[in-house]
Amino acid sequence: MVGNLEHKIKELDYLLVDAVKNYQSPERFFTYSHSLIQACRNLTFAVQSNKKEIPNFDTWYLPWRETMKADPYMKWLHAKRTKVVHEDVIASESYASLITLTDYARVIFEAHYDYRTSTDDVIANAKQQIIDKPELSYATMEVERMYRVDVEGKSDELIHVLIHVFQFLCMLVSDLEIYLDRKDGYQGPPLNLGNDIENDLSYDDSFRFARFKFRSGESVGGSIVPIVRDDKMVQLARERYGEVAETISSENVNEAAKSLFRIAKFMIQKDGSYLSMAFVHTSTGFNPLAAVFRDRSEKILFSHQLAAYVNELSGDAVIFIAETWTITDVKKWDKRIKEGKEIGGMRNKKEALSLMMLGKDGTSLGITAAFTRVDGQIVFDEENVDYPSPEEMGFFIPVYAMWNDELKSQQKKV
**For the range 125-129, what are the long-range contacts, defined as Cβ-Cβ under 8 Å and sequence gap of 24 or more?**
126/98, 126/100, 127/214
Please enumerate in sequence order all residues whose Cβ is within 8 A of that of 299, keeping only pairs 6 or more positions apart, or say none.
Answer: 291, 293, 395
Farthest CA pair distance, the chain: 86
**For the range 59-68, what are the long-range contacts, defined as Cβ-Cβ under 8 Å and sequence gap of 24 or more?**
59/186, 60/175, 60/176, 60/179, 60/186, 60/188, 63/188, 63/189, 64/172, 64/175, 64/188, 64/189, 67/189, 67/193, 67/194, 68/44, 68/168
First to last CA, the chain: 60
Q: What is the pLDDT along the chain (414 residues), one digit of tens a residue?
A: 566 888 999 999 999 999 999 999 998 998 999 999 999 999 988 988 888 888 889 989 999 999 999 999 999 998 876 554 445 556 557 888 887 776 665 556 778 888 888 888 888 877 776 666 766 777 788 889 999 988 988 899 999 999 999 999 999 998 888 888 865 556 778 777 888 888 888 888 889 998 888 777 788 876 778 887 777 877 777 777 776 655 566 678 999 999 999 999 999 999 999 999 999 999 988 999 998 888 878 888 888 889 999 999 999 999 999 998 887 666 665 666 666 566 666 667 889 999 999 999 999 999 999 999 999 899 999 999 999 998 888 889 889 989 988 877 766 655
- φ and ψ of 334, to 5 deg: -65, -40
Please enumerate in sequence order all residues whose Cβ is within 8 A of that of 322, keeping only pairs 6 or more positions apart, or say none.
Answer: 274, 276, 277, 291, 353, 354
Compute the half-sphere exposure of residue 242: CA atoms within 13 Å on the CB side of its CA. Answer: 5
pTM passes above 0.75: no
Q: Domain-by-domain residue ranges, the chain?
A: 2-90+154-206, 95-148, 222-413
